[in-house]
Amino acid sequence: MVDYARMFRLDGKVALTIGGASGLGQASACALAACGARVVVADIDREGALATARLIAESGGTAWADAVDITQEAEVARLFGAVRDRHSTLDVVVVTPGINVRKPVVAYTAEDLDRVLAVNLKGTFFCLREAARRMLDQGSGSIIAFSSIRAQVVEPGQSVYSATKAGVAQIVKALAAELGPRGVRVNAVAPGVVETALTRPITSHPEWYQAYAARTALGRWATPEDIAGAVVYLASDAARYVTGSVLVVDGGWTAIDGRFSPPL
């Protein structure tokens, strides 16, 4: 008899969460730890990463923290080396960092472009590549990147952000094809609107905030905790036949038209 409940457990697994100081990364780290994983919390914000590790420890979990700037190739390599020094395996890698510069295309500067590409696409690529190298050596593992519904649907001011999130989704698919024969799974989570620091310019604007909430089938924004379950699923053996997928967690945003509810 298959123990289906245990398929969702992560006991004994080592999980590296990059971007774990706050928001989606922090919720992911805490959820992975709650399901039994030993978690490495990494972030450019060292104090925030340490705070998340303490939060996990206070809840009875196991975690340690490190700092990393994912735009720097050498720093990403150093982080994975530090994880290797402390753990004989690396079973799960979650990559969450992302930034956005909301501007029309005609107003975008070269500096704006470089900044968003450096974090969202180049930095994510560095992390995925190092995770792939480590997991190829051991012949197992689950890699989870963060895309967005903006990879599918856009709005004014979201050009470069949307392009980077579409790029992440395609890198994930290519990497899944490359690593699948060696037993490594690669997937992406594509959230809708989530209340985080990244979306604070919207959540602090009541009319804008409510318009986005009304656009979803559920009539509300997500919290980071609403997204964390998808991360645990993709990390676990419950998703052992899932790879190359983009799991949309958007409250129905991309499934419905949302502009008008006809009288039925």
| Confidence (pLDDT) at 96 | 98
Token pair 């696409």 in the structure block, residue: 121
Per-residue pLDDT of the chain (264 residues; tens, 9 = 90+): 889 999 999 999 999 999 999 999 999 999 999 999 999 999 999 999 999 999 999 999 999 999 999 999 999 999 999 999 999 999 999 999 999 999 999 999 999 999 999 999 999 999 999 999 999 999 999 999 999 999 999 999 999 999 999 999 999 999 999 999 999 999 999 999 999 887 888 888 899 899 899 999 999 999 999 999 999 999 999 999 999 999 999 999 999 976 677 788
Confidence (pLDDT) at 264 = 80
Instruction: Give the active site residues.
Output: 161
- For the chain, list the domains and their CATH numbers: 8-248 (3.40.50.720)
pLDDT recorded at residue 201? 80
Question: What is the pTM for the complete model shown?
Answer: 0.95
